[in-house]
């Protein structure tokens, strides 16, 4: 505990004297510094304002600013404004979305994909989290969990590429199936919603695993034992005890995975095909061509964000309701 | 729990481990293939592709570019994030919930939307696409993670220590620098490593805010779009090894720091 020791030999923090030779002592007794600190901490209110100024400015201009600017651009007819023309307020960018099948199809496809992939991730990771939290001794638990964490530090592109190698026509899966004699010619996994799903679940699994794991770990074993004593079978115990008590973990894991999987751009581009165009690709298209498409792109991004936000909020409301219902 | 269930569960776990590891292992292996074509089986092996990346100026400059961006953006995120955490933790004031909500906002915005919003805002602020824009977007995006990690650590700081320092005559700033900050070091280190990895591996923001010079993920993406080759495997493996080594080292480091204090 280094800070403890330094606090005890804390000659430096005492102002005045000047005989102190530590850095802190000299700083504390340096007249301009003292004047400055006195000025800043004259009243608790002023001290608080100085402390709060940077965070408030930062979150307003850097966190909220980009979103508000995007909203503003989405409501204009031209951005950037060409010289000699005027910028007008308009809803046309939003109306364009409903006008063309090429626009709203990818949008609903994205939501549908995100829903299915979230469900797949949940079904896949729940037993893994359950196993880690309930069947592994605490000593090995960290090791087994850490082993799963390492690949998740690797970036989106690298892991997407790994899936491309796995599922290609001359990939490992096709080779294995051929070797087992199950197929004669390779199954075209790539550039389908299947390959995209494998990739996205691969990228998001951790965000589901961790909330589930922490919810399951908190669950006392005694509850399950009590249920068993009362004669509940394994399935009933899971359905009536474990599942309801981990709803919070399920809800936050699903929310995270859903939000993240609507936002992937590179993975659908690399793993998907023409029939699986997602909304992220549609939005990106407006920013790659001529600049005057920016307002439409911004409007579509706003639509995407609002839809994702509304759906996840409704979902969380629903899950909270479910939890309360179970308790009654 | 019956025996059968137990075995089934452990099988699921190991199947998941395979799902997570096998693709990466195959990717590393494919980098050794002595052929231009990606695909199994691998009949002969070569080190050519891996040695090649050390001579490839494009890869080396992309690598250096990514590292520089990661370091710069992390410095900003850690500074701002720690400051916000100090403001938010243990204080009650009007608007605190709103500030907290806004603080975590960048972490909740789906990738593509965040990239687009940053792209628009960068033009509004007059930041040209390029290194400055990427550093700025990574810094903003990573602030929430720093805030959450530092707040968690800050909540365990015994208040008495600050009070003792103040009683001994330390002004608030010195009390912060000599008591609070040293106490926060493990959290700040952990958050820094996390930010470094997030920034180094980020694709979508680097892609939309980058100029002509590609970061490493953007370079890999560009190469992938023109076709797969063992060269890409070698580059991707280099990125993977670096990330994994830094990650494992950080994990051990933070655990040791946490044990010591």
Predicted confidence at residue A235, as pLDDT, reads 80
Q: Which residues contact A56 (CB under 8 A, 6 or more apart)?
A: B99
Mean pLDDT rounded to a whole number for chain A:
84
* Residue B1, in any domain of the structure: no
Please give the structure tokens belonging to residue B5: 């269930």
Asked whether the predicted pLDDT for residue A52 surpasses 80, the reply is: yes
* Residue B7, in any domain of the structure: no
The CATH number of whichever domain residue B146 belongs to comes to 1.10.3720.10
Please give the structure tokens belonging to residue A223: 């509850």
Q: What is the mean pLDDT of residues B205-209?
A: 93
With CB atoms and an 8 Å threshold, state whether B103 touches A63.
yes
For the residues of B203-241, what is the DSSP string, one character each?
Answer: -HHHHHH--SSPPHHHHHHHHHHT---HHHHHHHHHHHH
Q: Which of B41, B182, B201 sits opposite A154 (nearest CB)?
A: B201
Domains of chain A: residue spans and CATH: 11-49 (no CATH), 103-327 (1.10.3720.10)
With CB atoms and an 8 Å threshold, state whether B117 touches A301.
yes
Q: How many CA atoms lie within 13 A of B258 on its CB side?
A: 13
φ, ψ dihedrals at B38, nearest 5°: -80, 135
With CB atoms and an 8 Å threshold, state whether A157 touches B224.
yes
B 16-75 residues with CB below 8 A of A? Answer: 16-17, 19-24, 26-27, 30, 37-41
ipTM: 0.88
Q: Which of B38, B123, B164 sits opposite A165 (nearest CB)?
A: B38
In terms of Cα–Cα distance, which of A156, A132, A160 is closest to A146?
A132
With CB atoms and an 8 Å threshold, state whether B169 touches A14.
yes
* Residue B3, in any domain of the structure: no
Whole-angstrom Cα Rg for chain B: 23
- How many other CB atoms are there within 10 angstroms of residue A82's CB atom? 11
φ, ψ dihedrals at B33, nearest 5°: -70, 135
CA distance linking residue B135 with residue A293, whole number of Å: 26
Query: What residues does A200 pair with on adjacent strands?
Result: none
* Residue B26, in any domain of the structure: no
* Residue B21, in any domain of the structure: no
Asked whether the predicted pLDDT for residue B226 surpasses 60, the reply is: yes
* Residue B201, in any domain of the structure: yes
**Residue A25 — very low, low, confident or very high, per pLDDT cuts 50/70/90?**
confident
* Residue B47, in any domain of the structure: no
Question: Tell me: the pLDDT tens digits for A285-312?
Answer: 888 765 568 888 999 999 999 999 999 9
Domain of residue B101, residue span: 56-260
Q: Which of B23, B175, B214, B240 to mutate to test the interface with A (most CBs of A within 10 A)?
A: B23
With CB atoms and an 8 Å threshold, state whether A52 touches B87.
yes
Tell me the nearest-neighbour CA distance from B94 into chain A, angstroms: 12
* Total domains present in chain B: 1
CA distance linking residue A7 with residue B178, whole number of Å: 8
């Amino acid at each position: 505990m280094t800070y403890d020791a330094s606090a005890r030999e804390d000659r430096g923090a005492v102002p005045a004297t000047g005989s102190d030779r530590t850095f802190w002592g000299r700083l504390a007794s340096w007249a301009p510094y003292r004047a400055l600190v006195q000025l800043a901490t004259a009243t608790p209110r002023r001290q608080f304002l100085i402390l709060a100024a940077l965070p408030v400015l930062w979150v307003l201009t850097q966190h909220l600013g980009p979103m508000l600017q995007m909203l503003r651009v989405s409501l204009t007819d031209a951005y950037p404004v060409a010289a000699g023309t005027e910028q007008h307020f308009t809803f046309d960018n939003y109306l364009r979305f409903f006008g063309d099948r090429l626009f709203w199809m990818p949008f609903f496809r994205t939501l549908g994909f995100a829903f299915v992939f979230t469900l797949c991730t949940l079904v896949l990771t729940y037993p893994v989290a359950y196993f880690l939290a309930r069947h592994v001794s605490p000593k090995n638990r960290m090791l087994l969990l850490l082993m799963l964490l390492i690949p998740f530090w690797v970036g989106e592109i690298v892991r997407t590429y790994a899936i491309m190698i796995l599922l290609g026509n001359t990939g490992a899966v096709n080779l294995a199936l051929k070797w087992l004699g199950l197929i004669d010619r390779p199954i075209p996994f790539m550039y389908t919603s299947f390959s995209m799903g494998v990739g996205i679940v691969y990228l998001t699994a951790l965000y589901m695993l961790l909330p589930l794991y922490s919810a399951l770990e908190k669950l006392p074993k005694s509850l399950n034992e009590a249920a068993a004593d009362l004669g509940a079978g394994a399935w009933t115990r899971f359905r009536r005890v474990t599942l309801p008590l981990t709803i919070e973990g399920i809800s936050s894991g699903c929310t995270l995975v859903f939000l993240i999987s609507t936002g992937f751009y590179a993975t659908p581009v690399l793993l998907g095909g023409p029939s699986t165009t997602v909304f992220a690709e549609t939005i990106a298209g407006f920013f790659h061509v001529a600049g005057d498409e920016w307002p439409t792109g911004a409007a579509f991004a706003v639509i995407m964000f609002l839809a994702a936000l509304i759906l996840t909020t409704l979902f969380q409301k629903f899950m909270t309701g479910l939890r309360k219902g179970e308790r009654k | 729990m019956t025996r059968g269930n137990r075995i089934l569960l452990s099988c699921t776990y190991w199947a998941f481990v395979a799902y997570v590891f096998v693709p990466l292992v195959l990717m590393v292996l494919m980098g050794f293939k002595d052929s231009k074509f990606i695909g199994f089986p691998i009949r002969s092996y070569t080190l050519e592709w891996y040695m090649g990346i050390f001579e490839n100026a494009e890869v080396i400059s992309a690598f250096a570019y990514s590292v520089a961006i990661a370091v710069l953006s992390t410095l900003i995120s850690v500074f701002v994030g720690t400051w916000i955490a100090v403001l938010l933790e243990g204080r009650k004031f009007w608007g605190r919930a709103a500030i907290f909500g806004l603080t975590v906002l960048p972490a909740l915005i789906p990738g593509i939307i965040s990239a687009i919003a940053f792209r628009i805002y960068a033009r509004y602020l007059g930041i040209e696409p390029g290194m400055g824009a990427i550093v700025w977007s990574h810094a903003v995006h990573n602030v929430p993670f720093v805030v959450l990690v530092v707040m968690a650590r800050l909540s365990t700081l015994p208040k008495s220590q600050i009070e003792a320092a103040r009683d001994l005559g330390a002004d608030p700033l010195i009390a912060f620098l000599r008591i609070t900050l040293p106490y926060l070091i493990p959290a700040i280190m952990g958050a820094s490593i996390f930010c470094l990895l997030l920034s180094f591996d980020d694709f979508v923001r680097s892609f939309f805010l980058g100029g002509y010079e590609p970061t490493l993920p953007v370079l890999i993406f560009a190469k992938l779009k023109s076709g797969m080759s063992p060269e890409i495997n070698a580059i991707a493996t280099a990125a993977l090894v670096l990330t994994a080594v830094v990650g494992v080292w950080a994990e051990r480091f933070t655990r040791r720091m946490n044990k010591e204090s």
